[in-house]
Amino acid sequence: DAGVTQSPTHLIKTRGQQVTLRCSPKSGHDTVSWYQQALGQGPQFIFQYYEEEERQRGNFPDRFSGHQFPNYSSELNVNALLLGDSALYLCASSFQVPGANVLTFGAGSRLTVL
């Protein structure tokens, strides 16, 4: 049973460019969350998608946007990249059971902005 898969694994962009990261949730999961993990820091919540809608959002600017598709997969888009956007981007999936709070994380996409 495949867990959460993310692509690409690594990528390098320059300031001002745009990037799209992709996530396929674990089989049977219907909710996807995205986290940003800067070097040496804990992950920070970006947003969560359920039923193709953004349900919750952390303190990230509008340059960060996302999408969830009918097959529950998701994309994270970041526009006008800044050097500070360099980080490991983690996708996590879950199944909507009230109070479950159990996320399955992917290995992440490492973004370097030059």
Partner 1 sequence: GNSVTQMEGPVTLSEEAFLTINCTYTATGYPSLFWYVQYPGEGLQLLLKATKADDKGSNKGFEATYRKETTSFHLEKGSVQVSDSAVYFCALSDVGSEKLVFGKGTKLTVNP
For partner 1, give the closer residue by CB, 18 or 54: 54
The least CB distance from residue 70 to partner 1, in Å, is 21
Unique residue bearing structure tokens 């969560």: 48
The least CB distance from residue 84 to partner 1, in Å, is 17
Tell me how far apart the alpha carbons of residues 113 and 30 are, in angstroms, rounded to a whole number. Answer: 31
For partner 1, give the closer residue by CB, 47 or 81: 47
How is residue 85 annotated by DSSP?
G
Sign, Cα dihedral of 63, 56, 32, 9: positive
Footprint of partner 1 on this chain (CB under 8 A)? 3-4, 31, 33, 35, 40-45, 48, 56, 58, 90, 92, 94, 98-108
For partner 1, give the closer residue by CB, 44 or 79: 44
Sign, Cα dihedral of 104, 35, 49, 69: negative
For partner 1, give the closer residue by CB, 20 or 104: 104
The token pair at 56 is: 């919750």
